[in-house]
Amino acid sequence: MDYKIVMPVLSDTMDKGKLIKWHVHEGDTVHKGDVIAEVESDKAIMEVQTFKDGVVKKLLVKEGDEVPVKEPIAILDTETKPQAPTKKEQAKEEPSKEESKVVQKSEIPSILQELMPTSAPPVEGYASPAAKKAAAKANIDIETLQKEGVLPKPAHLKDISEELLKRYFTPKALHLLKEYGIEANSFTLDHKIDEEEVQDFIMKNNIPKPFPLSSNRKAVIKNVEESAKKPTYLVMETFDIKPYKNVKLTSILIKTIADVMQRHPLTRAILEGDRYLIYPSSNISVAVAKGDDLFMVVCKDAQQKSLEAIDEWVRNLKNRDYSAEELSGSTFGISNLGMFGIKRFSAMINKKDSGIAAFGTLYDGKIDVTFTFDHRILNGVDAAKFVSDLKNSFKGNG
């Protein structure tokens, strides 16, 4: 039979409580009177006990969740009665006195374990039972520190742990510990440790700095992983290009490619199931680096736009944010690393595009270009005709 354990009403003014910590896991056997959780009301942190024997079937809320009073927080299966261990099992399961000490100690963070004195004076203050227990053993006066505003009200176990760390690390050293995810007990805690000592530790042990991925980088990774699955091939050519005064080279590339795409329908196609979808417009995705992020912004209907209009679009690319509409709908792409002095490189195809052209730096009126084509859309002959047409068009662009 399922028995619902609810958020208790711990005060007259309490309308909801915060689940601070679970002391049980799903599948655990519990007995009447066992403490299963810690709950924070508007006035105090209290322990929640079970009033029945059973097995924890489901934990309905996570630590940190706020739950209205009398709402279920866990379900207990009371039909699966906990079996009392036999004397033999009990003897096997009961830890020795030494093991018991270890189990009790493991409930406290390792940094606290190292610094705890053997005595445990009583501690006053507004804190969770676990925090009080840890503070008592570490000789931390919660009440005084709360009056001084050093510790929050209520104080939790993490607050005690951080307070203890402050005794042995400067603020900059603590910042480095968190930044690199280094355990405090990696150091000998018998003196004040500064930033320089932590930096030396990082260099000596070659510890990498975690760098969480931005949403843009995650999207780029997903895009290139999908692109890598496509059957592609490369075509390399050198184009003669005469740049126009006061016009971005990228603008010339977009306009010329857009016009040539009109004569090669498969460059305006995407593969969908067992058919091609051939679009009438030359929509070209353009690789744009903005800070540390990379975007493929789509210049739409480029065949209808004048070179001046495209140049204005290119010049404003990095000065604005992009909508989802601006990042979709392309069938061919370009990437230009010529401004970095790169002579030749290849690029990954963007999303469902039929191909991409990677342009290197302009030298002596020439540019080396590497095309990557999706072989499912353009075969070698299709690609050769397109590239040849482009070569002739660029030759006559001046």
Note if the bond before 154 is cis, omega within 30 degrees: yes
* pLDDT attached to residue 112: 60
List Cβ neighbours of 285 (8 Å cut-off, separation of 6 or more): 296, 297, 298, 330, 332, 333, 334, 350, 351, 353, 356
Whether this model's pTM surpasses 0.75: no
* pLDDT attached to residue 268: 98
CA distances from 315 to 56, 95, 247, 268, 308 (A): 62, 73, 9, 25, 11
Classified as helix, coil or strand, 362 is strand
Helices (H) then strands (E): counts for the chain: 12, 16
Amino acid at 143: E
Residue carrying structure tokens 């909801």: 16
C-alpha 63/C-alpha 390 separation (Å) is 62
* pLDDT attached to residue 194: 95
* pLDDT attached to residue 158: 85
In sequence order, the β-bridge partners of residue 272 are 275
* pLDDT attached to residue 90: 47
C-alpha 281/C-alpha 177 separation (Å) is 54
C-alpha 348/C-alpha 334 separation (Å) is 10
Regions of the chain short of the pLDDT cut 70: 10-14, 41-45, 81-122, 396-398
* pLDDT attached to residue 133: 83
Classified as helix, coil or strand, 114 is helix
Cα-flanking dihedrals φ and ψ of residue 319, to 5°?
Answer: -100, 10
* pLDDT attached to residue 13: 57
